[in-house]
Amino acid sequence: MAKSEEGDDGPKKQSREDWKKMKELDEMRKAGTAPAMQDEEGRDINPHIPQYIMQAPWYYGSTSATLKHQRPQEEKHKSYSTMNEWYKKGIKDGPVATKFRKGACENCGAMTHKKKDCLERPRKVGAKYTGESIAPDEYIQDNLDFDYEGKRDRWNGINTEEHRQKLFEEHNKIELAKRVLKEQKLDAGIEAGEGAKDEDAKDEDDAEVASDDEDKYADDMLMPGQKFETKQRITVRNLRIREDTAKYLYNLDLNSAFYDPKTRSMRQNPFENSGKDKADLHYAGDNFVRVSGDAYEMSKEQLFAWEAYERGVDVHIQADPTKLALLKKEFIQRKDTFKETAKQSILDKYGGEEHLEAPPKELLLAQTENYVEYSRHGSVIKGQEKVAIKSRYEEDVHINNHTSVWGSYWFNGQWGFSCCHSLVKESYCTGEAGKQASSSKELMLQQQKEYDAEETPKSLMEKRKKKKKKEKKKKKKKKKNKDNSDSDSSESDDSEEKLKKALKKEDAHNRDIEKLMALDERKRPYNSMFEAKEPTEEEMQAYLMKKRRLEDPMAAFLTK
């Protein structure tokens, strides 16, 4: 409505009075007291149309009220070609050029496209530089003008009649080959003596061939426990009576058996930790139901039916249960007879029938005089417990009647046996008597240490002598600085001799270790590289001096 009042320079701002007049005019038009607005063609415009539909966008360029922008723009599609219009697509046109032409494709040399649109394999050196193997120009039809969708349609320009004709021809050839093959089989059966067939039977066979493809897999679609209809598929597999308790209400513990709401199945037993016997429960899980009663036998029969069907025997567990049972019985009998004949043929050829008459090894080796009580689940209640499996290594071998290994006991810096507290490796086990003897030794050593640690009571004369010695030490402090040099020299000589001995001992020890490391682990003496003695200060200093420091960058340049 505002468009009718716009000038050549575009829409102008309306005053409040003009806006009120326009609003009153709209109300009168809606009430029917004023004539309706007309478009540029003289047709009336419904006053009840919303304003956002009636107003044309600014880029449409309309100068009066119109609804033309809401109608289909027929003139827009007149110049465009349709998909059914066939044209020469991908056809080479004209003679092949011998030289590269300016403006042609740099890859193949054709004038009808550029390098970025070229569909040939990119050449190592393009035709622009070689001037050889220039491709012919494609045929370009000038009277085609596709729209945006037509240019990008992959099926544009296809000949549908030719495509349909090829499909029909291929299908007819296949049907003809099937009929010829069927006739050859029938002729071969007649020659073998199966008897001639009437013309009516031939017609029936032709009808069966035609309906073979439709009903071939109809029986395979019928699954047990499911109902198929034309419009819906109803599964009646895990339904229950409404008065029965739901499976997920048996045990409300979050850590109990898992319930799948989609299939309504609970495979585990919800009363597993209750201590009740499964035979007394009215429900012990879906897995228990599947393997109890005749369900297991039913599953075996179903499996046998599937295997027989795969081998060409037409049998079904629901359609022919009696035939399936007889077939399975005959199969089991033949299988047993085949096993017996194979076994007898092997015995006749190689012998050894006398070994089969002996009782089974389970009875021979299972006889024992030990009393053992078992529960219903097979666990041992009373009797001999399971013996711990011994290791194949040497440290688990008990020698000389010991019940523990060497190194299980430690006392005063030495290893021993924990069963008798013996510190001698090759000793015989003495049991509790050895423990008592070792405990008495320990008490004696402890008392000796305590007696040595205690100080004997001193007399007054000895105390006075100590005081005099302290006073003399104070007086001699000044003289000690001079005497220290002499005493340090004597002590240093002793320490140097001890250090030399420790260094020689460390060198011998390192040579022994190198010899032991060169041996095989299985031939190396047991506990040969271990010594449980506290090292002296000189031995520690010698070890640190002889120790190899791999982190030192100059360690590799040191000589022996």
How open is the CA angle 253-259-264, to the nearest 5 degrees?
145
Residues 122 and 191 occupy one common structural domain: no
Q: Which helix (H) or strand (E) element contains residue 297?
A: helix 295-310
Residue 11 CA to residue 6 CA, distance in Å, equals 5
Question: What angle separates helix 537-546 from helix 477-518, to the nearest 10 degrees?
Answer: 50
| CA 186 to chain centroid | 54
Domain membership of residue 554 as a residue range: 498-560
Q: What are the pLDDT tens digits along the chain (560 aa)? A: 444 444 444 556 778 999 999 899 999 999 988 898 888 888 888 989 888 888 888 888 888 888 888 888 765 544 555 656 666 666 677 788 889 999 999 999 999 889 998 989 999 999 999 988 899 888 877 767 777 777 777 777 777 787 788 888 899 999 999 999 988 888 886 665 544 445 545 555 555 544 554 444 444 444 444 444 444 445 555 667 777 788 888 888 788 888 888 888 887 888 877 767 776 677 788 877 777 777 788 888 899 999 988 888 888 888 888 999 999 999 999 999 999 999 999 999 998 888 888 777 767 776 667 778 888 887 778 776 666 666 656 656 788 888 888 888 888 778 888 888 888 888 888 888 888 877 777 666 766 666 565 555 556 667 677 777 777 777 777 666 666 655 566 667 778 888 888 888 888 888 888 888 888 888 888 777 667 677 888 888 888 888 877 777 776 676 54
Structure tokens at 281: 């429960």
Overall number of domains in the chain: 6
Residue 531 in any domain: the answer is yes
Residues 299 and 327 occupy one common structural domain: yes
Residues 303 and 332 occupy one common structural domain: yes
Taking phi first (over 0 means left), then psi (-120 to 50 degrees means alpha), and beta for anything else, what does residue 174 get? Answer: alpha
Residue 145 in any domain: the answer is no
SS3 256: coil
Residues 374 and 307 occupy one common structural domain: yes
Please report the DSSP string for 304-332 in residue order. Answer: HHHHHHHTT----TTT-HHHHHHHHHHHH
Residues 363 and 381 occupy one common structural domain: yes
Residues 382 and 302 occupy one common structural domain: yes
Residue 280 CA to residue 282 CA, distance in Å, equals 7
Bridge partners (DSSP) of residue 411 are 414
Residue 77 in any domain: the answer is no
Quote the strand ranges of 408-500, DSSP E.
Answer: 409-411, 414-416
Residue 453 sits at φ, ψ, to 5 deg, of -75, -30
2 Cβ contact list (under 8 Å, min separation 6): 11, 14, 22, 55
Question: What is the model's pLDDT at position 430?
Answer: 85
Residue 23 in any domain: the answer is yes
Q: Which helix (H) or strand (E) element contains residue 513?
A: helix 477-518
Residues 203 and 177 occupy one common structural domain: yes
Taking the alpha carbons at both ends of the chain, their separation in whole angstroms is: 111
The per-type count for the chain, helices as H runs and strands as E runs, is 14, 8
Tell which residue, 324, 315, 335, 247, has the closest CA to residue 284. 247
Count other C-beta atoms under 10 Å from residue 157's C-beta: 19
Residue 255 in any domain: the answer is no
Residue 246 CA to residue 169 CA, distance in Å, equals 61
Q: Does the pTM exceed 0.85?
A: no
Residue 220 in any domain: the answer is no
Residue 487 in any domain: the answer is no
Label residues 235-267 b or e (16+ Cβ within 10 Å = b): eeeeeeeeeeeebbebbeeeebbebeeeebebe
Count other C-beta atoms under 10 Å from residue 521's C-beta: 6
Structure tokens at 100: 């590269």
Place of tokens 């010594």: 531
SS3 354: helix
Distances (CA, A) of 423 to 400, 427, 439, 446, 448: 14, 8, 13, 18, 20
- Per the CB < 8 A criterion, the answer to whether 280 and 259 are in contact is no
- Per the CB < 8 A criterion, the answer to whether 105 and 127 are in contact is yes
The DSSP symbol for 252 reads -
Residue 392 in any domain: the answer is yes
Residues 112 and 171 occupy one common structural domain: no
Show which of 425, 453, 481 is a domain's final residue: 453
Tell which residue, 135, 58, 146, has the closest CA to residue 96. 135
The DSSP symbol for 272 reads T
Show which of 360, 387, 414 is a domain's final residue: 387
- Per the CB < 8 A criterion, the answer to whether 120 and 136 are in contact is no
